[in-house]
Amino acid sequence: MVERIWNIYHKQLLSFIQKRVSDSVLAEDILQEVFIKIHSKIDSLQEDKKIKAWLFQITRNTIIDYYRKSSKAEEVDANILDLEDENNAEAMADIQTCIVPMIKSLPEDYRDALMLSELNGLSQKELSEKLQISYSAAKSRVQRGRSLLKEALSKCCSFEKDANGKIIDYEKKASSCNNCKEN
């Protein structure tokens, strides 16, 4: 199985590593370490269809480990933050097309609160002034709107999270989501 994974994914993983590590020899070393980890953890892979997300999570973690062990302190923080932000980026980019239609399908009070705060960038204080409601009411509407949006997303997609609760993969529940468009 590891040989098959190597044949299919080693070029993608090496490219991914090279974008984050300036030394090509070091990138090759990290790739070898990734495949050692894959070989030793292959039994923990529960679903073959989630293999790509699993591989890239191992690769991200291996690169993060490298930077944490290195003595380049100023480079470490920036590179680790970039990698950690990517944990959510791929999954979030795919579901972005769902979010606006889902927000628009919420009851008016929550829809307006989320559109203004989350999409237009108003603070909750600014939201309360714009809607002429108390600050407490604005906070409640945003919180309740987020909760309703989360509920709608959960009905539409199942999410896989890492140990820190960050989304690393998702799968659309095709029949249960009218708002999402297949890419």
pLDDT of residue 48: 62
Q: How far is CA 54 from CA 37, 44, 57, 86, 167, in A?
A: 11, 10, 5, 14, 12
Q: What are the backbone angles phi and psi of residue 161, rounded to the nearest 5°?
A: -120, 155
Residue partners of 58: CB distance under 8 A and separation at least 6: 34, 37, 38, 41
Q: Which CATH architecture is the domain 1-70 placed in?
A: Orthogonal Bundle (1.10)
- Decide if 1-70 and 88-183 have a common fold: no
Question: Phi and psi (nearest 5°) for 179?
Answer: -85, -30
Identify which of 87, 84, 102 has the alpha carbon closest to the alpha carbon of residue 157.
Answer: 102
| CB distance 168 to 160 below 8 Å | yes
Instruction: Give pLDDT tens digits for 127-155.
Output: 999 999 999 999 999 999 999 988 888 88
Instruction: State the pLDDT at residue 88.
Output: 47
Q: Pick the more confident residue, 158 or 55.
A: 55
Helices 24-41 and 51-69 pack at an angle, to 10 degrees, of 130
Among 3.20.20.20, 1.10.3720.10, 1.10.10.10, 3.30.960.10, name the CATH number for the domain at 88-183: 1.10.10.10
Helix (H, G, I), strand (E, B) or coil at 70: coil
Higher pLDDT: 91 or 158? It is: 158
Q: Report domain extents, the chain.
A: 1-70, 88-183
Cα distances from 62 to residues 11, 20, 93, 98, in angstroms, run: 16, 11, 23, 32
CA distance 168 to 152: 19
